[in-house]
Amino acid sequence: MLFTCLILTQLYSFVNAGWNIPTYVTFSIDKYSNSSCLVPTNNTDLQLYCRNSQIYNGVPSCCYEQLDKLSPFKNTKFNTCYNLTTSNETSHFQYKCSTEKINDLNLLQILGVIGSIASILFVIVMSSLFIKFCCSTQRKYNRV
């Protein structure tokens, strides 16, 4: 009974934990020649591994961390056109970030799933053996 309560308590905490599933994102920096920001003249895409995949304003949270690192502007937002004037030219930039669907599993991900399943099975088997041998009320002894 105690073991069942312990399992139910753990399951409740897992369900309410709000797990973030890691994902891949594409962080794009588009350069434009005019302020309308319609047709990019140069595009740079960065493929990033995102551990925090919670969505904030339609963009994964890890994208905001990258935006703070890469943008020369303060309080930068996604999908907004920004002017950058240097001594030679005026350029316009827009930042975008979107999640990527990657259908191929690599070997490390497959081994991680197999290892997780094996660990869970090991804990279940060891717990059941512990309960069977240590907590059993019926003990039979052989005669000498």
Q: Assign 15 a pLDDT band (cuts: 50, 70, 90).
A: very low
Q: Which of 76, 51, 72 is nearest to 64 (CA)?
A: 76
Q: What is the pLDDT of residue 12?
A: 46
- φ, ψ dihedrals at 119, nearest 5°: -65, -45
Q: Which residue has the tokens 């943008």?
A: 71
User: How far is CA 54 from its chain centroid?
Assistant: 8
Confidence class for position 122, pLDDT limits 50, 70, 90: very high
| Domain locations in the chain as residue ranges | 23-100, 105-137
Judged against a pLDDT cut of 90, whether residue 50 lies above it is answered with: no
**How far apart are alpha carbons 51 and 22 in whole angstroms?**
4
Structure tokens at 111: 């081994």
Mean pLDDT value across residues 50-69: 83
Q: What is the mean pLDDT of residues 47-53?
A: 80
Q: SS3 letters for 61-110?
A: HHHHHHHHHHCCCCCCCCCCCEEEECCCCEEEEEEEEEEECCCCCCHHHH
Residue type, 70: L
11-20 contacts at long range (C-beta below 8 A, 24 or more positions apart): 18/54, 20/51, 20/52, 20/53, 20/54
Contact assessment for residue 92 and residue 37, using Cβ atoms and an 8 Å cutoff: yes
Mean pLDDT, residues 38-61:
83
Sign of the four-CA dihedral 69, 74, 79, 80: negative
Residue 39's pLDDT band (cuts 50, 70, 90): confident
